């Protein structure tokens, strides 16, 4: 007599079901981990932006005077400012608008000492009488008191 080798097919459905169930569980765990990582990145970014907004609203500087000509050699005029806010302010750009002619001069921080722009644009909290030296192509006209509008922009986007 020849014995036949028979295979039982009773456990195949259960094994396939178990593999399918484990795959769904792993997929859901991977999805939860991915969602939580994106949620964490969002919360960190939101916290940074809230801190940035608080610091931005804490900036408060006043332009109290203008020296022309500048006592510092090579510079045209000086802005004298007070930082009455609670954070360090870094000046990003200075706009000088001539109300009579409509000309707008824009000054950025100097990269080299010979170019047009300004230096000394970091103002500590509570610092008074801070001098920002500006090098321009021409002097400001002293004939009228309110001829120029000077706007100082900070690195965080505030304008004074």
For 6-63, write each residue's pLDDT tens digit: 566 667 888 888 999 999 999 999 999 999 999 999 999 999 999 999 999 999 999 9
Q: How far apart are CA 63 and CA 38, in angstroms?
A: 44
Which H or E element spans position 6?
none
Instruction: Kindly write down the DSSP assignment for every residue of 132-160, as one continuous string.
Output: EEEE-SSPPP-SSTT-EEEEEEETTS-B-
pLDDT of residue 125: 93
Q: Does pLDDT of 2 surpass 60?
A: no
DSSP per position, 14-75: HHHHHHHHHHHHHHHHHHHHHHHHHHHHHHHHHHHHHHHHHHHHH--EEEEEEESS-SSTT-
Entry pTM: 0.72
Q: What is the pLDDT of residues 111-139, one digit of tens each?
A: 887 789 999 899 999 998 999 999 988 88
């Amino acid at each position: 007599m020849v014995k036949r080798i028979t295979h039982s097919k009773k456990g195949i459905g259960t094994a396939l079901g178990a593999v399918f169930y484990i795959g769904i569980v792993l997929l859901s765990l991977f999805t939860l981990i991915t969602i939580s990582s994106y949620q964490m990145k969002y919360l960190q970014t939101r916290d940074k932006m809230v801190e940035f907004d608080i610091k931005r609203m804490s900036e408060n500087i006043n332009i109290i005077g203008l020296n022309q000509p500048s006592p510092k050699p090579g510079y045209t005029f000086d802005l004298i400012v007070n930082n009455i806010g609670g954070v360090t302010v870094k000046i990003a750009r200075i706009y000088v608008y001539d109300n009579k002619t409509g000309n707008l001069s824009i000054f950025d921080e100097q990269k080299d000492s010979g170019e047009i722009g300004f230096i000394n644009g970091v103002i500590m909290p509570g610092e008074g009488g801070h001098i920002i030296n500006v090098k321009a192509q021409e002097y400001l006209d002293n004939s009228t008191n309110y001829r120029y509008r000077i706007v100082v922009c900070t690195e965080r986007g505030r304008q004074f």
